[in-house]
Amino acid sequence: MADSSDARPSAGAALSAAALARLATLLPASSLSVDADALQRHGQDETESLRFPPAAVAWPASVAQVAAVMRWASAERLPVTPQGARTGLSGGALPVRGGLALSLERLDRIRDLNVADMTVETEAGVVTGQLQEAVAQHGLYYPPDPASRESCLIGGNIAEDSAGPHSCKYGTTRRFVLGLEAVLASGDVVHTGSANRKDVTGYNLTQLLVGSEGTLAVITAATLRLIRQPAATLVLGFGFDSLERAARAVSEVFASGVEPAACELMEARAIELLARSHDLPSELQGAEAFLLLELDGETSEQLLAAAARLGEVFAPNEPLVAQDARAQRRLWKIRSKIGEAVKGHSSYKEVDAVVPRSALAALVRAARRAATAAGLESVCYGHAGDGNLHINLLRGELDQSTWEESRDRAETELISSVLELGGAVSGEHGIGWTQRRHLTRALTPATLDLMRRVKQAFDPLGILNPDKIFP
């Protein structure tokens, strides 16, 4: 194994004319750019306002081209940052050391949809929403549904183990990945797992690569498990007079024996910000928090019976009930537009905390305490059924240095509370670049050391997405 210490790529790695010329022999001219606009675009994702332009951008269109680029990068000792659609929220796709931004967006073919076995083999650059539509035409369902699904890519979802509202019942991306095709930092192509529902042949490298945030290998294709589309859905909304009460209600939903497909929580302030730009149902007025539940199953009758059971649990709170597709879309819009509404109101720092469901009310209290102590406003909403809340700390009118100091103080205190509650630093947005400082508190030195050795085994030269995850 090569020693990485001397060979590590340098900060802000630039490309020599000779290295660029060698790269240009591996790709068509239209697949490589050093154009200033392209460098700016590929130097940012959706994480705050961070900018790290690479020295060049490549758009390979086949696994062979990805392999050739990685062989070149190894030979040149240059950093490579894999990129999907750059919708990430923890800075994982930022080329923080310059070098090459490797966009996977042109690997955009669905290779094989196997309706009989209910699997799909897809390339990494397929847009998640488009994959969902393609399989839905055959009555099949790929449940992981990040709110960014109309733009994010399957490869990015796998690299982040992304989730969404329906992870509540069906689990995160990881539950659906059966096998992967990936390119190592050396340029070697590996195949992990298979298209089988069960497979214990050797180490489970598939699940090691899921959530590895582009630091272990470049994912070029995946075989995904599909399920049947549920025949019926019902959407319910419950208003509560306090956020804590709503957070406690989440456990009561599951204790009632009803397993919701989605269970989302929003606090009044988030709804109030949304109401500035959207026409909302009048029943939401006056509630301090709102719980949105989706039930799915075989028949509407079955779902209405489950809804009646929940109605009894939360009596005298009357639910909003949406049975037809239009009414359901209207209720879902409240949840899906909240992120934008908060972002439009103020710049913010998001803490993507996850705790055991029973600790949700305590998390909400901790968020308020940490924000208030730092002189900030907080807004909470998110995937309550998974114990995963997006806690937005709002900047408001603060000047830059006061904001940075207050934000870091609130975030540090909040993460301490999350860890005390048995929670984790990130539920779905990853550690990437912005959450690294919390890792030493979240993991023991022995665990962190093992992770570093895994990284070393996959990428001995340290060229693949350097400076991510590890503090």
Residues that bind ligand FAD (CB under 6 A): 45-46, 81-89, 92-93, 104, 124, 146-148, 152-153, 155-157, 159-160, 162-164, 213-214, 218-219, 339, 428-429, 432, 465
Nearer to ligand FAD, 403 or 458 (CB): 458
Residue 54 or 88: which CB sits closer to ligand FAD?
Answer: 88
When the beta carbons of 119 and 388 are compared against ligand FAD, the nearer one is 388
Which structure tokens are listed for 400?
Answer: 């830059």
Report residue 455 as tokens. Answer: 């990284």
Cβ at position 85, least distance to ligand FAD in Å: 4
By beta-carbon proximity to ligand FAD, the closer residue of 80 and 310 is 80
Q: What is the phi/psi pair of residue 195, to 5°?
A: -95, 10
| Min CB(172)–ligand FAD separation in Å | 8
- Where do we find the tokens 């582009």? 214
Choose between 76 and 213: whose C-beta lies nearer to ligand FAD.
213
Q: Torsion over CA of 212, 89, 388 and 164, rounded to 10 degrees?
A: -80
Q: Which is nearer to ligand FAD, 350 or 411 (CB)?
A: 350
Query: 316 preceded by cis ω (within 30°)?
Result: yes
Q: Which residues contact 420 (CB under 8 A, 6 or more apart)?
A: none
Q: Pick the closer one to ligand FAD by CB: 163 or 389.
A: 163
Query: Least distance (Å) from ligand FAD to the CB of residue 36?
Result: 20
Angle between helices 360-373 and 243-255 (to 10 degrees): 160
Min dist. Cβ of residue 288 to ligand FAD (A): 24
- Measured from the CB of residue 342, what is the shortest distance to ligand FAD in angstroms? 11
Q: Which amino acid is at 224?
A: L
CB of 275 to ligand FAD, least distance (A): 19
Dihedral sign from CA coordinates of 438, 439, 444, 446? negative
> Smaller CB distance to ligand FAD: residue 182 or 366?
182
For residue 356, the minimal CB distance to ligand FAD (Å) is: 19
Q: List C-alpha distances in Å: 53 to 13, 99, 101.
A: 11, 9, 9
| Beta carbon nearer to ligand FAD, 48 or 408 | 48
Q: Which is nearer to ligand FAD, 122 or 406 (CB)?
A: 122
Q: Which residue type sits at 447?
A: T
Query: What is the sign of the dihedral through the CA atoms of 337, 342, 348 and 354?
Result: negative
Q: Nearest approach, Cβ of 52 to ligand FAD (angstroms)?
A: 12
Would you say 296 or 467 has its CB closer to ligand FAD? 467
Question: 417 vs 435, which CB is nearer to ligand FAD?
Answer: 435
The least CB distance from residue 315 to ligand FAD, in Å, is 31
* Least spacing, CB of residue 94 vs ligand FAD, in Å: 8
CB 174 to ligand FAD: min, Å: 11
The token pair at 450 is 């093992």
Q: Tell how far CA 376 is from the center of its chain.
A: 25
For residues 211 and 214, what is the distance between their CA atoms, to the nearest angstrom? 8
Tell me how far, at minimum, the Cβ of 154 lies from ligand FAD, in Å.
8
